[in-house]
Structure 1
Amino acid sequence: MNLNYSLNKDDYLQYQLYNASTTESTKKKRLKTWIIVTFIFIILSILFYQADNKLLTYYFIAFSIITLIFYPFYQRNQYKKYYGKFIDETYKNRFDKESNIIFNDMNFETFDFTGESKINYSSLEKIIEISSHFFLKVKNGGTLIIPKSKVENMEKVRIELKSLSEKIKIDYSTELNWKWK
């Protein structure tokens, strides 16, 4: 099988957001930050209550409730902005450049403007399918991004990748309902 496509900023962003949403350390960090910010406002409202300052007590109670409810939405946008800037700085020279992947019997070869590489199937760790992309995770930490919208005969690609995962006995994860939250 031979695939030709190009990646844009959104393709890289989808991968970064997916990776952040599934990495335990990032999930813990986001939860911890949310709890700490809310807790600080609660502590401040208690301190002002003890100081008999009702106005600031109500102010910080309101802020703690607002933070408890809306901070995850704010944080989600902040992460998206951060990853967007990171991608602009790191991958800007790779946007809209033609890439080619050739699947062989024992490996796949990738060709792009930076050069070519050969990756043995035995170095694949996991294949992930979300509604818009396939991600082929390699044991060395890299990931190959395949956007569904830019490949011809996406169903054939899905069948080929599922067959490959069974052949080399790696996990094929289907997360078609995944979205950044």
Structure 2
Amino acid sequence: MHLSYSLQADDFLHYQLYAASHSPVVRRSRLRSWIIITLAFVSLAYIFYQEHVTSLMVYFALLAVASAALYPLYSRWRYKRHYRKHIETNYQGQIGATVVLELTDSLLRSVDKASRNELQLRELYQIVETSQAFLLRYNPAGAVIVPKNQVDVAALASELHRLANLNGIEYVDDQSWQWK
């Protein structure tokens, strides 16, 4: 099967956020930050409660409640902004470039203006289908991104299912995934 498409910044962002949301390190880091900030405000509220400074106690108690409720939204925004900047800095030459992808029973070839790559399909450990793209993951930090809006989704999904079964690759249907 031959495919030709171009990757946009949003395609790279989609992959980066998907990989981050499935990374135990990133998950722990986000959770740890959330807990530390909330506990810091709770601790300050408690200290001012012990010192009978009611106004500061109420202030920090409200900050603790606000951070407990709103920190996940802030963290989501911060990570998205970080990855946008990372993509602008590191993927400039690849944004908008045409990628030609060839899939055979045992080989994946991709050609773009910067490189030619060949990958044995058995080196893929996972094929992920999200609502926006197919991600052919060959290690936790690397993947071939195929945006759904530029290919025949039904034909490609069928071919990827066949290749996953043929080569013993895990196929993950994660179309309900959203960045949280």
Is the TM-score greater than 0.5?
A: yes
The letter for the 1-side match of 2:61 is I
Matches of 1:103 and 1:76 in 2, distance apart? 35
For 2:55, the equivalent position in structure 1 comes to: 55
Residues 1:26 and 2:26 are matched in the alignment = yes
Instruction: Count matched residues.
Output: 180
SS of the equivalent of 2:45 reads helix
Matches of 2:97 and 2:139 in 1, distance apart? 25
Matches within 5 A, 1:133-144: 133-139=133-139, 141-144=141-144
Q: Deviations over 1:48-91 (max 9, x none)?
A: 11111100000000000000001100110000000000010000
SS of the equivalent of 2:178 reads coil
For 2:161, the equivalent position in structure 1 comes to: 162
The letter for the 2-side match of 1:164 is L
Identity %: 33
Deviation at 1:141, TM superposition (A): 4.2
Q: Deviations over 1:29-50 (max 9, x none)?
A: 1111100000000000011111
SS of the equivalent of 2:176 reads coil
Deviation at 1:104, TM superposition (A): 2.0
Matches of 1:68 and 1:118 in 2, distance apart? 47
Deviation at 1:92, TM superposition (A): 1.0
Q: Cα RMSD between the aligned structures? A: 1.0
Deviation at 1:154, TM superposition (A): 1.1
Residues 1:8 and 2:8 are matched in the alignment = yes
Structure 1 window deviating more from structure 2 (70-79 vs 105-114): it is: 105-114
SS of the equivalent of 2:137 reads strand
Matches of 1:43 and 1:103 in 2, distance apart? 57
Deviation at 1:115, TM superposition (A): 2.3
Matches of 2:64 and 2:140 in 1, distance apart? 42
For 2:174, the equivalent position in structure 1 comes to: 175
The letter for the 1-side match of 2:12 is Y
The letter for the 2-side match of 1:8 is Q
Matches of 1:139 and 1:81 in 2, distance apart? 24
Matches of 1:45 and 1:83 in 2, distance apart? 34
TM-score under structure 1 length normalisation = 0.97
Matches of 1:141 and 1:29 in 2, distance apart? 17
